[in-house]
Amino acid sequence: MASWASLIPALLVVAPFSGAANAAECVQSKAIYQDRGKVYEIRFSPATSEAAATSHTFTLKLLKGGMVMDGVVLPADGSQRANGLLMYKCPDGDVTGADLAKCTVWDGVFYGIAADGAVVDLPEASANAAGHLILSDFSRQAQNSPVWADKKIADIPADVLTLEGCGS
């Protein structure tokens, strides 16, 4: 029979990635989430621009194949919710709406789920990370995007993600 002393190191390795229980120990700008089907993960990072137009940045990585997409969060403003944009290899410079439509995978609202189950706004970058996120209509938009079709991605992503860890 294993002693408690031998189990403590194993518990310490598992505990930091226990989802919502760890939300108070990680700020939103460093949070790492996964969908329950393990199709993709989202990693937030601090916004590098001083521009007020972006409150968060994130990357979405497909866990099969490793394809990475870039995203930004436009901050909540009054009655508006934090809006996310996820893009794949968008052209730089002066582009048309049609150009952006070809490279946009998702355009929707981020919601957090509080510890009591209430649906809330996405926390600010320096606030404690939400234990779970909802990406409104992500699954449908991603599957219908030109990127999903062009890359022949068969995996179906979920709209709900769980906090899995905290980046550095």
- Give residue-wise pLDDT tens across range 83-126: 999 999 998 888 888 988 889 999 999 999 988 899 999 998 89
109, part of any domain = yes
pLDDT number for residue 168:
82
SS in 3 state form for the chain?
A: CCCHHHHHHHHHHHHHHCHHHHHHHCEHHHEEEEECCCCEEEEEECCCCCCCCCCEEEEEEECCCCCEEEEEEECCCCCCCCEEEEECCCCCCCCCHHHHHHHEEEEEEEEEECCCCCEEECCCCCCECCCEEEECCHHHHHHHCHHHHHCCCCCCCCCEEEEEEECC
Domain count, the chain: 1
84, part of any domain = yes
Residue range of the domain that includes 145: 18-166
124, part of any domain = yes
10, part of any domain = no
7, part of any domain = no
Region 14-41: mean pLDDT is 75
8, part of any domain = no
81, part of any domain = yes
Round the average pLDDT of the chain to a whole number and report it.
Answer: 83
Taking only the tens place, the pLDDT of each residue in 122-157 is 998 899 999 999 999 999 999 999 888 888 888 889
105, part of any domain = yes
